[in-house]
Amino acid sequence: MWDWVKSCNFAIKDYTNMINTVKTSFFLLLVLVLSACNDSRKLETIRQAEMLMQEQPDSALRVLQTINRHSLHGEPLARYALIYSIAQDKSGQDVTNDSLLRIAHEYYSQHPDDSLYARSQYYMGKYLWLTAQTDSAYACLLKAKNTSEEERDYYTAYLATDRMRRIAEVSDSALCLKLAKEAYHFYVKHGGTNPANESYLLIGIGESYRRRRDSDSTLYYYNKALDKATLSGDSIAIGSVIQNIAFHFLHYKQYDTALDYANKSLSYQKTFNKSLLKLMALCYIQKSEYEVAQQYINALPSNASKEDQLVKLGMLHRLCAKTGDADATQEYFDSACNVAADMYLSTLKEKLELHRKNLHEALERQRVEYQRTIFVICFLFSVALIILISWLFIKYHRAKKAEIEHQKIQNRSLEELNKKEEERFRAEKARLLAEEAMLRKEKEQKEQIMERTRFYVKSMVSILREVEQYRTEQKKQKEKDKQNNYNSKNDHKEEARLELKLDDKAWAEIQAYLEVCEGSFVTRFKEKYPDISDSDFRLCMLLRCGFSNPELEQVYSIAAQSVKTRQLFLKDKLGLEDKTISLRQYIKQF
């Protein structure tokens, strides 16, 4: 009876849980339907902003700001992020924060067939270029160029190629020229009708030729750019072209011509810019009109940025060097070096800060993506519960048993994993201990080698002492022989036959010393000359030890000529045909 009551209680609890699950699932389904309707309205608003983006980017920004981007996900969020970034760029705002742009870039990088893929790569490349990440920027721009060219989107191809030219102009003049021509080609194929834009692209081609020192081609494209700028009637464009022509003549030291073009540029631009001031100052410095040059240098901005300070200090340094003021020249040079160092440190700090920010944002995006994934999994699980609720109710007990069994399997898997991890840890520990023992053994071997080396050195000292004692005894023997009136001819023959009377132990020590300290000299020499006699080999060992001819005279108690004769004889026995190298040199190099 009690078992039956317990079964009823379990059934009631299961039924109550089922009702609660159904309510939760229907609530989530309702939220999904409402969210889908809301997402549809937001997507329509994004498309409206996309249509306004080209002609009215400010209006497009205002439209996009009415949307709460945190409620978007997937393709709508990526489209919103890209359209917002493009509208910012077209409004004249440099995109220096990639929080939105990176969302679009990551999404479209996984969908290269999407029509917005090329644009996402271009604007990501432009952002990376603005933040001095040139390698990554070039890679993104190259993808944008290739993709847009395949899709015949020549406008995006022209933008990406022109930006690639600006990156390449620093290091590769040939590539820069190729990209400049391709950018102009894409602009023409796009159907661009603005002569001012054409003039800027032609200036880029001219600058590329100028870097390659092709004066004729440079002037040709500058003149073409001037024609296009004149056709457009844009005074700023005309002034920019003429200013580039002035810099060209300055480069070729035609200072009067450069000044004429600089004044023409000023007449169109109406106001001085930093490049024009620098140009005029350089011209007047080269013409030795220092007071006029000083006026233009003073007009250069010096407090706006570190770059402006460096330009002004560099101009002052050049002026003082031209006038011969050595102290001022050194002072301006030191100041310029300090500013350049500050710029380098500032740039390094900014890059480090940017790297930290990107890392933080990447971690934040991963966290958000993880939360979104968890939400989707939970939602799908809830929908699955609605579909399978009846089957789960009937099969509850079986599912419970299966769950328990599954948990046991998981526990066993975890135990096996822990066991494997422990085994791996023990193996790693054993490996480290073995390495430590091997290092100790190597250390002991090195100490033994050092001890043997010290022993051999001591042995060599004792041998040298024996040599000296032998030499003294030989000297006494000669004096005794003279007293006994030996025949001088027999004396000479006997003297030539005398050898160092060292015992076998001493020669063995010399041989062991050369084997250890001279790179296995004994083994290598005997492998090459296996038939060499002990007497000849001992002479080779003494030469390897560095015994000079006077020392060999003392060792063998023979005349200097006899020492040389013996070495020449041994050289012939060894078969050394090179007359330019002596036996001693051969033995030392062996």
pLDDT at 30 over 50: no
**Per-residue confidence at 18, pLDDT binned at 50, 70, 90?**
low
Q: For 50-59, 191-200, 406-415, which range has the lowest pLDDT when averaged over its residues?
A: 50-59
pLDDT at 477 over 80: no
Average pLDDT value for residue range 308-312: 76
Distance in angstroms (rounded) separating the CA atoms of residues 203 and 362: 40
- The top-scoring range by mean pLDDT among 6-10, 58-62, 515-519, 568-572 is 568-572
Distance in angstroms (rounded) separating the CA atoms of residues 460 and 84: 86
| Alpha carbon 238 to its chain's center | 41
Angle separating helix axes 154-168 and 173-190, nearest 10 degrees = 160
Q: For 20-24, 230-234, 288-292, 334-338, which range has the lowest pLDDT when averaged over its residues?
A: 20-24
Q: What is the DSSP letter of 99?
A: T
**Per-residue confidence at 89, pLDDT binned at 50, 70, 90?**
confident
The pLDDT, as a whole number, for residue 448 is 65
The pLDDT, as a whole number, for residue 579 is 75
- The top-scoring range by mean pLDDT among 55-69, 386-400, 423-437, 465-479 is 423-437
Coil, strand or helix at 112: coil
The answer to whether the CB of 82 falls within 8 A of the CB of 120 is yes
Structural class in CATH, domain 193-301 = mainly alpha
In 54-153, which residue ranges form alpha helices assigned H by DSSP? 57-64, 75-90, 101-109, 117-130, 134-150
Instruction: Give the H or E element holding residue 7.
Output: helix 2-53
Closest by CA position to 397, among listed 124, 87, 63, 7: 7
Average pLDDT value for residue range 311-320: 79
pLDDT at 308 over 80: no
Considering the chain, what percentage of its residues have pLDDT values greater than 90?
A: 0
**Per-residue confidence at 474, pLDDT binned at 50, 70, 90?**
low
pLDDT at 38 over 60: no
The pLDDT, as a whole number, for residue 450 is 54
Average pLDDT value for residue range 314-324: 80
Provide CB contacts within 8 A for 508, sequence distance 6+. none
Q: For 12-16, 223-227, 241-245, 556-560, which range has the lowest pLDDT when averaged over its residues?
A: 12-16
The 10s digit of each residue's pLDDT in 381-421 is: 888 878 878 787 787 778 778 888 888 888 888 888 888 88
The answer to whether the CB of 308 falls within 8 A of the CB of 301 is yes
The pLDDT, as a whole number, for residue 396 is 79
Q: Counting Cβ atoms within 10 Å, is residue 309 exposed (0-12), middle (13-18) or buried (19+)?
A: buried
Mean pLDDT for the chain? 77
The pLDDT, as a whole number, for residue 85 is 81
Average pLDDT value for residue range 482-500: 50
The pLDDT, as a whole number, for residue 518 is 78
pLDDT at 241 over 60: yes
pLDDT at 27 over 60: no
The pLDDT, as a whole number, for residue 492 is 42
The pLDDT, as a whole number, for residue 95 is 60
Average pLDDT value for residue range 553-565: 78
Average pLDDT value for residue range 358-380: 80
How open is the CA angle 295-298-301, to the nearest 5 degrees?
A: 140
Distance in angstroms (rounded) separating the CA atoms of residues 168 and 182: 13
Average pLDDT value for residue range 362-381: 81
Q: What is the DSSP letter of 212?
A: T
Write 67-74 long-range contacts (CB < 8 A, 24+).
67/42, 69/100, 71/38, 71/42, 72/39, 72/42, 73/372, 74/107
Domain boundaries, the chain: 193-301, 324-390, 465-589
Give the count of alpha carbons within 13 A of 264, CB side only: 17
Closest by CA position to 84, among listed 107, 110, 106, 61: 61
The pLDDT, as a whole number, for residue 207 is 86
More confident residue, 39 or 45: 45
The pLDDT, as a whole number, for residue 254 is 86
Closest by CA position to 317, among listed 327, 308, 303: 327
**Per-residue confidence at 495, pLDDT binned at 50, 70, 90?**
very low
The answer to whether the CB of 265 falls within 8 A of the CB of 246 is yes
The 10s digit of each residue's pLDDT in 441-462 is: 877 765 666 566 556 555 655 6
**Per-residue confidence at 6, pLDDT binned at 50, 70, 90?**
very low
The answer to whether the CB of 56 falls within 8 A of the CB of 416 is no
Considering the chain, what percentage of its residues have pLDDT values greater than 70?
A: 82
